[in-house]
Amino acid sequence: MLHIKNLEEGLPVLKALGSELRISIINLLLEHKEMNMNELASSLGITNGALTSHVKKLEDSGIIKILTEYTGHGNQKICRVNIDKILIDIATDEAAGEENIYNTEVKVGHFSDYAIYPTCGLATPDSLIGEVDDPRYFAHPDRINAGILWFMKGHIEYIIPNLLPASQKIDQITLSFEISSEAPGVNNDWPSDISFVMNDVLMGTWTSPGDYGDVRGIFTPDWWFPNWNQYGLLKMLVVNKKGTFIDGLKISDVTVDQLNLNYKSTIRFKFMIKDDAENVGGMTLFGSSFGNYNQDIKVRIQYSHM
């Protein structure tokens, strides 16, 4: 997901989308997953020279990704769509200026508690940690270096570092993470109800559409197995005074005021697959060096004086 925080910042994206031909390029890439420059030019009925400037605008805006593939006849450029959603914030939050923002990031392997069930496993960017489908390895010392983890049901919990200045209360928490379902092997059509819990309060549930393995993740290491989870969707979870939202869509009426958080609070955040969920399809959490976004769990906290 591409999050544009103001219109000025989003100008390159809006310009890139202001062309019927470039919209056609995006639609072709969505249909075919990825195409090289010759295939795109042929499908659009234009020359490679005419295509180049349009592709560059889409690449510069972050909408598409260009990869170089080495073949026996030289190099060719492969194009694919790089985002699944574009979220534009037109208005800024009135409760806090930029000086009242605290940013941090939690490593995928730095969980503080877990109770998970197979299929399950975790890996560093270099190798698997122990054996798959054995929950005991979630206690292995190497787990702190994990760049990916997955399980079929249960929960995994993180403590979000709270280093706010004294006498401040929390007005909004934004978390972003790359996530998918967990199917045996991979399955792009494998729904899973993933619930989010903060300090034991159920914030809401989002249904992951599938477990993606149709193409290799951009940052997924070369040694990773081709028929395993390759990438996820970048999701943004927000809790503020109006409720809880995923990518701008409200998923519950739970507000930040109900959580009663301030500079002294321990903030515990949990991903959960409930036993009684309608779709028990597991979850995969991608960190840096895996998937398409090369990030762990990013946290942004807006605060104000108590």
Measured distance CA(24)–CA(42) in Å, rounded = 13
What's this model's pTM, rounded to 2 decimal places? 0.72
pLDDT of residue 292: 93
Instruction: Take residue 196 and report the two structure tokens written for it.
Output: 């989010």
Domains of the chain: 2-81 (1.10.10.10), 92-305 (2.60.120.260)
Measured distance CA(109)–CA(205) in Å, rounded = 22
Between β-strands 267-273 and 148-160, what pairing exists: parallel, antiparallel or unpaired? Answer: antiparallel
Question: Phi/psi zone of residue 17: left (φ > 0), alpha (ψ -120 to 50 degrees), beta?
Answer: alpha
Question: Phi/psi zone of residue 121: left (φ > 0), alpha (ψ -120 to 50 degrees), beta?
Answer: left
Residue 194: other Cβ atoms inside 10 A = 24
Measured distance CA(179)–CA(137) in Å, rounded = 21
List of the chain residues with pLDDT < 70: 1, 5, 71-74, 89-98
Could you give the angle at the alpha carbon of 206 between the alpha carbons of 204 and 207, nearest 5°?
A: 150
CA dist 172 to 20, 246, 303, Å? 38, 14, 7
Measured distance CA(174)–CA(218) in Å, rounded = 25
